[in-house]
Amino acid sequence: MSKRVYIFDTTLRDGEQSPGISLNVHEKVEIAAQLERLGVDAIEAGFPVASKGDFEAVKAIAQRIRKPVIVGLARAVRGDIERAWEALKYAARPRIHTFIATSDIHMEYKLKMKPEEVLEQVRDAVSYAKSFCEDVEFSAEDGSRTRPDFLFKVIETAIEAGATTINIPDTVGYATPQEFGGLIASIIENVKGIGDVILSVHCHNDLGMAVSNSLAAIENGATQVECTVNGLGERAGNAALEEIVMALKTRKGFYGCDTGIETRELYRTSRLVSHLTGVHIQPNKAIIGANAFAHESGIHQHGMLSNRETYEIMTPESVGFRQSEMVLGKHSGRHAFEEKLRDMGYTHMDTEKINQAFTKFKDLADKKKFVTDRDIEALLSEKVIEVPTIYEIDYFHISSGNSTIATSTVRLKKDDMLIQEAACGDGPIDATFKAIERAAGLKINLKDFYLRAVTSGTDALGEVTVKISRNGDIYVGRGISTDVIEASAKGYVNAINKMLYETEME
């Protein structure tokens, strides 16, 4: 009989702590809805005490997402726990996740506490969380570097106080698979009551071993894995959800484990997270990279033509890639477009969203001879999350050349008012951004700019991701067009709208 491994997704908490990532409430709810479709067992929605935005995001997810357990993080202090419960109390299946550091180096230099004080705080925090919520998780931060005898005491204390899940983090990614697997085995052997709770692990990727360490833990008895989509997270990131899930599925005969994940949603989940965070996926990324199922070597191609299993240990379809495409054009009607959406797996769109997507499809079809699946994915992702439109591009004109100064004239629309400005710059995009800043009356700090072609050919859609900052906060904007200047302008204005919307919310 296969063992059940629970998938605990922390993309919206630990993943969002990646440098340069900032998601608003609407974006977090959209990702949470996709994680629900993916079939994760638990969603760590945020750290409610950290900010008003985090609190509102956890609350919104708790109110709208019903199937997975909704988790809120809290330090082992009563104020954090109370704030977490305020956000989580709307959830169908709430869980308070409280933590404290347990390694000697953390206790001495960060907490400045004695081991006995830490044990008392564990007891108080878990029992206090239990007074609000039946489902309580406790994490021993820096568990992999904690003295085993003290770690055993900490875990027993948490279980006695009412914890239902015990999590052992490799907080700084220091452990090796053999070492970490051995630690999990020793916990099962030495800790009283460990068989009555879920034993979880949370591995970071500082030495590139997060997935390996997580799988070693499963081999040695762990029943929950904490992970993130695309491996996002602080520093070098976390164990990648898609890699763990497909390792367990592809090598089921070895691990003897099942998850509740609908693997055909992996690709779509990965792309959604990438679009909204602005963190692009390397082409050779395992499972969901663009080259994950590409074969260029002649020897490989020959083997693939003979039998796909010669060089593919899993099918592209099993993770949501589509093997073949039916292209649409400007003569394609709404019925064909809706059939295409259903065929691509977009079965959760209401009539209004389909109408909006169809209008954008027809506009694009007028500019391109053929519209591919990847074009449609790009169009849909551009409109995944809406914020109130404060500014929108009404008109732009570029004058540029290799021996002239680039000049851009931009007209923005705000309510019923049109604002026109012009600016010079180092190239047409720089000039356009400066003209937009003048029209909006803002000084923008551009942190990052990324342009890629969605498909091949001279008529390819250009997808632009723009990151701007204000007071230390990052805002990500996206724009798509066959004209890269227009895509850039749309992305810049989208980021500005998000910044202004978030400022008003505060």
**Spatial contact of 230 and 274, defined as CB atoms under 8 Å apart:** yes
How many residues in total does the chain contain? 506
Best CA proximity match to 62, nearest among 80, 81, 83, 43:
43
DSSP H or E run through 333: none
The β-bridge relationship of strands 462-470 and 445-453 is: antiparallel
CA dihedral 181, 184, 186, 191 (to 10 degrees): 180
Best CA proximity match to 499, nearest among 343, 388, 402:
388
DSSP state string for 193-217: TGGGSEEEEEEB-TTS-HHHHHHHH
Domains of the chain by range and CATH?
Answer: 3-277 (3.20.20.70), 298-382 (no CATH), 392-505 (3.30.160.270)
pTM: 0.82
Output the pLDDT for position 299. Answer: 45
Mean pLDDT, consecutive 10-residue segments, the chain of 506 residues? 93 91 91 97 97 95 98 98 98 98 97 98 98 98 98 98 98 98 98 98 98 98 98 97 98 97 95 90 90 57 55 84 62 78 73 83 76 74 65 95 94 94 96 96 92 77 90 86 93 93 71
Q: What is the C-alpha separation between 361 and 125, in angstroms, rounded?
A: 53
Best CA proximity match to 46, nearest among 30, 32, 66:
32
Output the pLDDT for position 297. Answer: 44
Q: How many CA atoms lie within 13 A of 165 on its CB side?
A: 30
Output the pLDDT for position 153. Answer: 98
